[in-house]
Amino acid sequence: MTNRVLVPAGSLQDGATIELEDAELHHLRVRRLGVDDDVIVLDGAGSSAQGSIRSLGHEWRVAIGAVHRAPVPATTVLAVGAGDKDRFLLLAERCTEMGMTHLVPIDTERSRAVDTRVRASGLERVRRRAREACKQSGSPWATVVEENGELADLPVRHPEVRWLLGEHAGGRCPQLQPDAAVGWIIGPEGGLTSGELEYCRVTLKAEPVGFGPAVLRFDTAAIAAGVITQDRRRAG
């Protein structure tokens, strides 16, 4: 099994020696790694390197080899009703796995009624979870988790994006250019209201895309959106 550790975004430099955060040290010890063991070092912002564990007194550091910068991925935004915060942690993990570049929690009519909804105060945990998913998935890029917003903010925040609306009814997703900037809108549990749906279709010109006959949980729908996006960006 490959062992990966996470370091702060932007901290990877050829030949550097980097101090590890406590959570990462703990992670390595749980995996029974020790001094001189090799690890893959990721910064969650496109850089990765081979590394080797070094001791410095009681502390461990990681000596970095040559740093590889991954190409910047095509923009893929997931705008999701800001529902239950625990499900949002899972969602953030899935977003990194699926190559989403941005996750935008949207305050919708129905998510506003959810007591446990994700709020500004909970975003740090969500961001950490998105970054931690780099280790499991090997993805060099963590999803950027933006501040909560409204549907009406989307065209301002992401003007270049072509919007798709994930629904259980809807058409088949069109073929996409490999570098097409795409954004998905997924309702909260309980769905978007008919007014919100109309806003998406008419103002954002979002194309409704179906994920099959069943009602998907929002985290399942997010994975569906990621899978379909990757599929449609592939040639042939």
Residues that bind a second copy (CB under 8 A): 1, 94, 96-99, 136-139, 172-173, 190, 211-217, 220, 223-224, 226-228, 230-231, 234, 236
Structural tokens at position 180? 């097409």
The nearer residue to a second copy, 28 or 222, going by C-beta atoms, is 222
Tokens of 223: 């994975």
Nearest approach in angstroms of CB 46 to a second copy is 13
- Let me know how many helices (H) and strands (E) the chain has, helices first: 6, 11
Between 116 and 203, CB nearer to a second copy: 116
Q: How far is the CB of 139 from a second copy (least distance, A)?
A: 5
CA 80/CA 220 separation, integer angstroms? 12
- Least distance from C-beta 224 to a second copy, angstroms? 4
To the nearest whole angstrom, how small is the minimum distance from the Cβ of residue 94 to a second copy?
6
Nearer to a second copy, 98 or 104 (CB): 98
- Do the Cβ atoms of 50 and 66 come closer than 8 Å? yes
Nearer to a second copy, 10 or 138 (CB): 138
Q: How far apart are CA 130 and CA 128, in angstroms?
A: 5
Smaller CB distance to a second copy: residue 1 or 202?
1
Continuous segment of H or E residues that includes residue 57: none
**Closest among 114, 89, 127, 111 to 186, alpha carbons compared:** 111
Give the nearest distance from C-beta 225 to a second copy in angstroms. 9
Instruction: Estimate to the nearest angstrom the gap between the alpha carbon of 52 and the chain centroid.
Output: 27
